[in-house]
Amino acid sequence: MSGRVGGPAGPDDRASHADRADGAGGEIRIRSRKAGPEVRDRELHVLAAAVIESRGRVLLIREEDEPFAKSWVVPQGYPRPGERLAQAAVREAREEVGLDVEIESLIGVYEEFVPAPPGPDRHVVIVAFLARPVVPAPVEVTPEAIDSAWVEPHAPPAAIRPFVRRILADVAGRS
């Protein structure tokens, strides 16, 4: 099973316009009059990811910042206010690895719960786009990333986030 989230929401799963309040920086706060206290005021973190593929390999980086500090991930981050998710993925690729990329397609939507002591786990949703470098260029690791590596999608390294493993499996399944 892939890490994609799909299917229509049922009538009880939808928040009305009045029940939903959007936060800045890719965080969505869901408030529902119908839900109990265990559901109210949960934060949903939405990230846009650039899955950069070149010559059959995918670029991974080790993140410096939360929510995936010190983990191998694909370049990703929060969209800015008014920025579409695909635009955010292109910007994050430029900011994190110095590459100008073009989005080819949506790979899928993935989710992960990330520990955030002392509070509840963060619910992180990653919208992953397949991207290719506009021109071949060397990767420039920036302060947002502490390392980078090109990997074969069918042979990922052991120390990667679970959602990245699912993304790589989906990329490998496309070939």
CATH number at residue 85: 3.90.79.10
Q: How many domains does the chain have?
A: 1
DSSP 8-class letter at 15: P
Query: Domain containing 94: what range?
Result: 46-174
What is the predicted pLDDT for the residue at 144? 77
> Does residue 26 or residue 35 have the better pLDDT?
26
- Residue 112 pLDDT > 70: yes
For 10-23, what is each residue's pLDDT tens digit? 333 333 222 323 34
27 within a domain of the structure (yes/no): no
56 within a domain of the structure (yes/no): yes
Pairwise CA distance, residues 79 & 155, whole Å: 30
The neighbour count for residue 72, using CB atoms within 10 Å, is 21
- Cβ neighbors of 105 (< 8 A, separation 6 or more) are 129, 130
Pairwise CA distance, residues 46 & 28, whole Å: 8
Residue 108 C-beta-side C-alpha neighbours within 13 Å:
20
15 within a domain of the structure (yes/no): no
For 140-168, what is each residue's pLDDT tens digit? 888 878 889 999 999 888 789 999 999 99
151 within a domain of the structure (yes/no): yes
